[in-house]
Structure 1
Amino acid sequence: MHTFRNLVLKLGWLAAGLIAFSSVAHAQHAAEPAMESGAAALLEKHSALAKQLTENVYRRPLFLESSEGGNTVTGNAYAVLDSPFATVSATFKSPQRWCDILILHINTKYCHAGSDSSPSMLKMRVGKKTPQELQDAYSLEFAYRLAAASPDYLAAQLQADKGPLGTNNYRIELQAVPLPGGKTFMHMRYSYGYGVASRLAMQGYLATVGNGKVGFTQIRQGPGTVYVEGMRGAVERNTMRYYLAIEAYLASLDKPAAQQLELRLSHWFDATEQYPRQLREIDKESYLVMKRSEYQRQQTLLQAAQ
């Protein structure tokens, strides 16, 4: 009797294991077409943007666009990176490396990843373009998720429910595919939502501190070129800042580790200076001193927490 009962139990465990294995296998097979379609769509976009990537005002293989609607503002950056796909993939699979990139942005005061795997949480502080105490900066908590990873496609996402000035649903989404010649084609989407109160707060900011600032999209060309302003202008400026942070980070990876931070900071600032109408805020020495201090403060806090 006991032998029969044990046999029944073993068969039950075996069946459960087979069902679980079947479920995992089904999920894996379901994910494969999604990755293939994502890679194909991105390569198709690369072909469609061939002219814009080679003939543009940015002096680099980059295409930038923005949109506003449905209480959401979005910026998209498409770029050919001078780095192999394996390097790009390894970078964006790592939440901590995301922080190494995000800290280069002039408004980022602090960034720490809870773990270096997916899923993870990135705790950030964002604030002024000048030195600022952490307790006076806005808190942002991004959930990191690696959406897809294969030898030919990568998709990673950051999402935060709440942001500064009552904004919400912050998203930074990145996709990448390999290109011939050891290069990579990347799409980065940066977006956030807003309500009535947060829109009024943003409009107040844009009418004071942000007064006169513009984006990159030309809404009237020729003599007296007019650039997009308002919330679209703001999202374009930050989309460009995040893209240049990616570029600066990747450009430093073939240098000795001890030199990488300084190289990234210098690269990022020099790149922003190519677009003074949109991105000039402070002088280089002020930026470098501020960022060195912020990085040291961040390292001190992380070491104290261990």
Structure 2
Amino acid sequence: MQISSPTHRFSPLHLRRWFVGLLMFAGLSTQALAASPEALRAQFASLRESGAGQLLDQSIYLRSTESADRMQGEVHALIDEPFEQVRQQLSRAAQWCDVLILHINVKYCRAQRTATGDELVSGVGRKFDQPLAEVHWVRFGFRVVSDRSDHLLTELRSPTGPLGTHDYRMSVEAVPHTGGQSLLRMTYSYGYGTAARWAMKTYLATLGRDKRGFSVVGKTPAGQPVTVGGVRGVVERNTLRYYLALQSHLQTHDAPGGNATQLGLQTWFNATERYAEQLHEMDGPDYIAMKLKEIQRQKTVAPPPPG
């Protein structure tokens, strides 16, 4: 494409979409561009126009990148929730534990205030009932980067993660959209070294051997799509699980009659079952019973001290 040719005319919006698309195609971070509502809208418009990473729910787009020492998953979505409600829920650390605990691997979450700011103490484990003595503890620093009437950006960061990972990050950006909807961008990423690489290699050779992600990376001889496996598949599954937890909480947090917890769990499970080929791990009643036990436990058991 020769954009300097006088026979081609591009509006500023088209140029912005082209530039954002180029960065996404190259696998580069677009966080620096995500400093305004216009940038987020341009990213979503670019994905909608290309259809890249579109899932069964046509308003959700999932992408992932892999480098020698870092993995990242990213979801862009249009949701049927007013921006002000999104802003109220996601700008407070305590509400984030209601989000994270929906994820099947999160066994505990407690928000607390420290000398350096808000912190989320999270226990990450296996996809079944586990004692807290066996979970991996992750301490997220919680920060609201931008909180305006037209733009929200929050970030969770931990220097360490489960199974030898490091520089663990999750960020959510949101802006208002027409018709009382909101645009969201969620990123989930971590770095990994030798220990994490060996742990992942063991998992992929055993429990994760046949599991796949969502990105299409080829076709079978019969012409059927082949989706990504390996570490990128793991990242894509976890990214979507966290996003669906976020979406489920926003849909159910104000349920009447004290039913928000039960409804949130059922909503998350139903949402993951839409992608059962990649995300199914247990039956709904077993998931809900396990989670109700974990939620009660995190209310009564104090988090471990730092260190």
Flag whether TM exceeds 0.5 (same fold): yes
Task: Please list the CA deviations of residues 11-45 of structure 1 after superposition, one character each: whole Å capped at 9, or x if unmatched.
Answer: xxxxxxxxxxxxxxxxxxxxxxx999422211211
Matched, 1:288 2:288: yes
Measured after TM superposition, the shift of residue 181 of structure 1 is 0.6
Is 2:230 the counterpart of 1:230? yes
The answer to whether the aligner puts 1:270 opposite 2:251 as a matched pair is no
Count of residue correspondences: 271
Q: Which deviates further from its counterpart, 139-148 or 212-221?
A: 212-221
- Give secondary structure in 1 for the equivalent of 2:208: coil
Q: CA deviation at 1:51?
A: 3.6
Corresponding residue for residue 61 of structure 2: 63
Q: 1:106 to 1:179 in 2, by over 3 A?
A: same
Correspondence for 1:86 among 55, 79, 84: 84
Residue 55 of structure 1 and its aligned partner are, at CA, apart by 9.7
Map 1:116-265 onto structure 2 (within 5 A). Answer: 119-221=117-219, 223-256=223-256, 258-265=258-265
TM-score with structure 2 setting the length: 0.83
Find the aligned partners of 2:290 and 2:234 in 1 and give their Cα distance.
22
- CA–CA separation in structure 2 for the residues paired with 1:147 and 1:40: 17
Q: Where does residue 99 of structure 2 map in the other structure?
A: 101
Which letter does structure 2 place at the counterpart of 1:211?
A: R
1:106, 1:147 → 2: CA distance? 28
C-alpha distance 290-140 of structure 1, shift in aligned 2 (>3 A): same
| Separation of aligned partners in 1, 2:49 and 2:251 | 24
Instruction: After the TM superposition, list the runs of 4 or more consecutive aligned residues in structure 1 that deviate by more than 6 angstroms.
Output: none
- Segment of structure 1 superposing worse, 59-68 or 252-261: 252-261
Query: How has the CA–CA distance of structure 1 residues 192 and 35 changed in structure 2, closer, same or farther, with 3 Å as cutoff?
Result: closer
1:25 alignment partner in structure 2: none
Gaps in structure 2 of 5+ consecutive residues:
1-31
CA contact (8 A) 1:119 1:146 kept: no
Identity %, equivalent residues: 39
**Corresponding position of 1:49:** 47
In 2, distance between residues paired with 1:231 and 1:206?
A: 8
Corresponding residue of 1:298? 298
Aligned CA distance change for structure 1 residues 103 and 295 (closer, same or farther; 3 Å):
same
Which deviations, in whole Å up to 9, do the C-alpha atoms of 1:69-124 show, x marking residues without a partner? 140000000001110110111111111111100000000000011039x9311000
CA contact (8 A) 1:81 1:183 kept: yes
Which structure shows the higher helix fraction?
Answer: 1
Q: 1-side partners of 2:204 and 2:156: how far apart?
A: 26
Asked if structure 2 preserves the Cα contact closer than 8 Å seen for 1:147 and 1:156, the reply is: yes
Q: CA RMSD in A?
A: 2.4
Q: Separation in 2 of the partners of 1:47 and 1:36?
A: 14
Structure 1: distance between partners of 2:200 and 2:179: 43
Post-superposition Cα deviations, 1:49-74, rounded to whole Å, max 9, x if no partner, equal 23467994422410000000140000
C-alpha change, 1:183 and 1:152, in structure 2 (3 Å) is same
Contact 1:215 1:233 in 2 (8 A): yes
Q: Larger Cα Rg: Structure 1 or Structure 2?
A: 1
Inter-CA distance 302–82: structure 2 relative to 1 (3 Å threshold): farther
Q: Distance in 2 between matches of 1:47 and 1:138?
A: 38
Between the aligned partners of 1:302 and 1:164, the Cα distance in structure 2 is 20
Q: Secondary structure at the match of 1:211?
A: coil
2:36 counterpart SS class? helix
Q: After the TM superposition, which of the residue ranges 253-262 and 44-53 deviates more from structure 2?
A: 44-53
Amino acid at match of 1:136: E
How far apart, in 2, do the equivalents of 1:52 and 1:277 lie? Answer: 25
Equivalent-residue separation in structure 1 for 2:302 and 2:257 (angstroms): 19
Cα 1:98–1:53 change in 2 (3 A) is farther
CA offsets 1:202-236 (integer angstroms, 9 cap, x no match): 11111111111110101124733211011110000
